[in-house]
Amino acid sequence: MRTLSSEEAASLLHLNVKQVQNLARAGKIPAVRVGRKWLFHHDQIEKLLGRSATHAPGTLEISARNRLRGTLAHLRVDGLMAEVVIRIGDQELVSVITRSSAERLGLRVGDEVFAVMKSTEVMVGKEGHES
């Protein structure tokens, strides 16, 4: 079983080393502390990212890195479209997809699903700040 250092895990997760160590300390990332160092199982980090360490035949690799794992909380199908509400932690993300996509994926409330985002632009906002 391959293990990763804090630096390697941070690189894989696209976080800084201190964030990864704090998440491990809080039990939000599976890790083992050996002396003063944190060790992470490569397979478990890959699973957190929604990937398998060894890609099975028939799996699809995509270029989007922004993948969030969640639970399908609500599904409303109306006409040609479907509104999909995904619970990710204590937040909800809403996506509108075609009805045929929802049916092809066999989406059901309670399913573990992924939200995949790909964009060339990100806007940042802050509450209570006027410019």
Q: Do 72 and 35 belong together in one domain? A: no
Q: Do 70 and 44 belong together in one domain? A: no
Distance of CA 39 to the CA centre of its chain: 21
Report which DSSP code applies to 38. Answer: E
Q: Do 79 and 113 belong together in one domain? A: yes
The answer as to whether 23 is a domain residue is yes
Q: How many domains does the chain have?
A: 2
- The CATH number of whichever domain residue 17 belongs to comes to 3.90.105
The answer as to whether 21 is a domain residue is yes
pLDDT of residue 66: 74
123 pLDDT above the threshold of 70: no
The answer as to whether 59 is a domain residue is no
β-sheet bridge partners, residue 41: 3
- The CATH number of whichever domain residue 80 belongs to comes to 2.40.50.100
4 pLDDT above the threshold of 70: yes
Q: Residues 26-60, buried b or exposed e (16+ Cβ, 10 A)?
A: eeebebeeeeeebbbbebbbbebeeeeeeeeeeee
pTM, rounded to two decimals: 0.50
Q: Do 113 and 78 belong together in one domain? A: yes
In whole numbers, what is the pLDDT of the chain averaged over residues? 84
Q: Dump pLDDT digits (tens) for 14-73.
A: 899 999 999 999 988 889 888 888 999 888 888 888 776 555 555 666 666 677 888 999
